[in-house]
Amino acid sequence: MAFGDGSLDRWKKFCGRVARGSTMLLILTHRCIPRAAVSSRGYTSLQREEFSVSPDIPSPASDVAPEDMRRSTRDPASLRRALEGWLAGKLPGDAKPEVSDVSSPSANGLSSETLLFDACWQERGASVTGSFVARVEPDRDDCPVFPVYDMEAQYHLLEIVAQRSRVPVPVVRWLELGSEHLGAPFFVMERAEGRVPPDVLPYTFGSWLSEATPEERRTLQDSSVAVLAELHKIDAASPDLAFLELDLPGETPLQRHFEDLRRYYQWMRGERRHPVLEQAFDWIESHWPDEEGETVVSWGDSRIGNILYSGFEPAAVLDWEMAARGPRELDLGWMVFLHCFFDEIARGAEFPGIPDFMQPADVAATYETLSGHPVRDFDFYQVYAALRHGIVMARVHERRVHFGEAEWPEDVDSVIFHRATLECMMDGSWWRRPA
């Protein structure tokens, strides 16, 4: 992202409005100014532009850059040795595996620990090499984003999605339920190639996606919605998908999903109270849909930042830890709102964002055409997504506090960066705003 024509002044003005020390200010101020003229079209899942901080831009409460935000206390060198020893037990005795280039991606995500590594071994007298991804349950002492990580469920869901749909997912190779190797359960997938719309710096500020033509962006939008339509064809009532059902009070999948969300909030907040989130819980209850519609397999974290793209078509759909049974609109609302979240950040900094992208009416129309099912109560599900994301954001800030990178501000809701958007959604003004 280049700053010119007064845009640096707009950026500084915006940063001054963001809560000092908030996670969002940390991310944005540490990634705002290009250090080198690298084309943003060169982003891949493992590549990103380098940025540095201008001395004239307000600093966050911590000097920790987003790529150095603590995700884990696990040591990379120890992880390499542990992976090598574990792999030796999975392969034939004469395989002699070697593991190298262990790293963790920093462009997207703060939930499950993700390890990228290469491995080579001997098989039938020939050398075999591969690039892999290990998804590791986070250490309980590392203030995880979610209270439960079911690695076995994620592994089996990826198998089922690959077998019963055309949704592109990574090939899963091994599941390890013991904790003796990496300190927690994990599973390993083959590494998929592609590029991802980055979270850091958000793709709405300048990226291969924002620089694409409107036609290219529409291709990405429609093909991403098509992923949901294809996923939702899977028979969610199949007995071998029973692990997606939430064992909680409630007569319907959405009621149980909402109960799970309420319990997540209670677990996340501890002794704190977040007024805007509690207001949103009340709003959801008072605007409950008359009809929930058919139950589908819900991806859960259905945002474009969790898709690797080849060109502008999905190459691999990632991050299934929020999957559950529920209405199809759960995924649609999350996909639309998460773009809205990043676009509002850009507009708040007086940048144009991507206003022609992921508009609710367009997404709904495309989904209805592809799936043959109507999209119901879309406004409700966008508010529902904003509530869910608000809880996640507050928990992410709690992680930074845990690692000594931030403190809680007096106004605890200031760490929920889309608070104003959520409030406008609830009072109805959001839906009446000019396009």
Rounded Cα distance between 1 and 246, Å, is 43
* CB-based contacts of 305, cutoff 8 Å, min separation 6: 108, 109, 196, 197, 198, 199, 203, 338
Assess whether the previous peptide bond of 201 is cis (omega < 30° from 0).
Answer: yes
User: What backbone phi and psi angles, to 5 degrees, belong to 224?
Assistant: -70, -40
Q: Could you tell me the two tokens for 14?
A: 């915006």
The amino acid at residue 400 is R
Single out the residue of 326, 351, 274, 365 nearest to residue 14, CA to CA: 351
Q: Is 331 a catalytic residue?
A: no
* CB-based contacts of 3, cutoff 8 Å, min separation 6: 11, 32, 33
- Do residues 304 and 274 make contact, with C-beta atoms less than 8 angstroms apart? no
* CB-based contacts of 108, cutoff 8 Å, min separation 6: 196, 198, 199, 200, 305, 306
The amino acid at residue 184 is A
Q: Could you tell me the two tokens for 162?
A: 């690959």
Cα end-to-end distance, the chain, whole Å: 24
Rounded Cα distance between 249 and 260, Å, is 9
Q: Cα-atom radius of gyration of the chain, to the nearest Å?
A: 22
HSE-CB at 240 with a 13 A cutoff on CA atoms is 12
- Per-position b or e across 274-312, b if 16+ CB within 10 A of its CB: bebbeebbebbeeeeeeebbebbbbbbbbbbbbbbbeeb
Instruction: List the catalytic residue out of 9, 118, 301, 411.
Output: 301
Looking at the annotation, which residues are catalytic? 301
